[in-house]
Amino acid sequence: MSSPESSASSRSSGSSRRSLDRNRPQMLEDLVNHFVASKRSLTTQTVLWRANEIVTSARELLEENAVLAAKNSSIRNIVDEQVDALEAVRRGIDVVEAEVQAEFKQLLHDLDTSFAGLQSTLTVLRDTPIESVLQPPGTSQKHLFDFIDSSTVTNLKDSLRACIDRYNEARSTLNDSNDSFDTALENLHSSVENVPLTPTTTSNPSPIPSLYHDLEGHAKEAAQAFQSLVRHYDLCVTALRHTEGGSAAATQATGDAQVASGDGFSAPPEPITEEERQEMLGVLQKDASEVDDVVSEIRERGSEMSFLLSQIDNHITHLRNEDAALSSVLCMISHVVAEVKTHITTSRSFHASWLEDTRPTLLSGIEEWENQREFYARFDLAYAELLVEISSRRRRHDKAKRKAEEAQKELNRLYAEDERAREQFTVTQGDFLPLDIWPGLRDPPRQYEVRAVALEPGEEGAETRAAGETTYGVQSIPQLERNVVERALTRVKRRM
What confidence tens digit (pLDDT) does each residue in 214-224 have?
A: 989 999 999 99
Residue ranges of the alpha helices (H) in 42-194? Answer: 45-127, 151-193
Find the helix or strand (DSSP H, E) in which 474 lies.
Answer: strand 474-475
Q: Taking the model in full, what pTM does it have?
A: 0.65
Position 465 scores a pLDDT of: 45
Establish how many alpha carbons lie within 13 A of residue 240's alpha carbon, considering only the half-sphere containing its beta carbon.
31
Pairing between β-strand 474-475 and β-strand 470-471 as defined by DSSP bridges = antiparallel
**Residue type (1 letter), 229:** L
Q: Is 198 exposed, middle or buried (0-12, 13-18, 19+ CB in 10 A)?
A: buried
Alpha carbon dihedral 89, 94, 96, 102, in 10-degree steps, equals -170
pLDDT of res. 245: 64
pLDDT at 168: 96
Our CA angle for 176, 177, 181, nearest 5°, is 115
State the Cα–Cα distance between residues 295 and 297, nearest whole angstrom.
Answer: 5
Give me the helices (H) in 255-290, please: 259-262, 274-288
> Which among 104, 106, 111, 115 is positioned nearest to 170, based on CA atoms?
104
- Evaluated on CA atoms 375, 377, 378, 384, the torsion sign reads positive
Average pLDDT for consecutive 10-residue bins of the chain (496 residues)?
A: 43 38 54 84 91 91 90 91 94 95 96 94 92 86 90 92 96 96 94 82 68 90 91 84 69 56 58 80 84 91 92 90 92 93 95 96 95 92 90 91 94 94 90 85 90 67 46 66 86 78
Which secondary-structure segment (H or E) carries 470? strand 470-471
Of the candidates 235, 274, 272, the one whose C-alpha atom is nearest the C-alpha of residue 22 is: 274
pLDDT of residue 252: 65
- Residue 40, judged by CB atoms within 10 A of its CB (0-12, 13-18, 19+), counts as middle
- Helix or strand or coil: residue 475? strand
3-state secondary structure 193-226: HCCCCCCCCCCCCCCHHHHHHHHHHHHHHHHHHH
Identity of the residue numbered 369: W
Residue 268: what pLDDT? 62
Burial class (CB in 10 A: 0-12, 13-18, 19+), 71: middle
The per-residue pLDDT for range 196-240, each reduced to its tens digit, is: 887 764 445 678 888 889 989 999 999 999 999 999 888 888 887
Element (H, E) at 431: none
Q: Determine the 3-state secondary structure of 406 from DSSP.
A: helix
